[in-house]
Amino acid sequence: MAKYQYSIDCLCHLSILPLPGSAGSQPMRRFSCVRLSTRQLNIRNLVSYEKQQVPVDAIVFITTKGIKICVNSNQKWVQTAMTRIDQKRAIKGK
């Protein structure tokens, strides 16, 4: 009986340790877009953005209230909004 108990203990300890390059050691996104908004957002209410490629190619805008909204990155207004957010960041960084 002790022989089996030792084997089970070894397996439990090995399963807890993350291996380099394993899924356990990779950062995980907490938010992921699956649908995209078709509405144009008010640029003044946007404070940040993130680029996403999986599961869909999108830009995730973050509003002043912390709301995340997914939009298609190919729209002209999206590119304009990203440029303005980048400019605001550059000014604050100086």
Other Cβ atoms less than 10 A from the Cβ of 59: the count is: 21
Q: Map out the domains of the chain as residue ranges.
A: 27-93
Q: Can you give the length of the chain in residues?
A: 94
> Quick one: pLDDT at residue 31?
74
pTM of the predicted model as reported, rounded to 2 decimal places: 0.66
**Third-level CATH fold of 27-93:** OB fold (Dihydrolipoamide Acetyltransferase, E2P) (2.40.50)
40-79, pLDDT tens digit by residue?
Answer: 999 999 999 999 988 889 999 999 999 999 999 999 999 9
Q: Which residues of 64-86 are buried (b: 16+ CB within 10 A; e: fewer)?
A: eeeeebbbebeeeebeebbeebe
Q: What is the pLDDT of residues 10-40, one digit of tens each?
A: 333 333 334 344 444 445 557 788 899 999 9
- pLDDT at site 11: 36
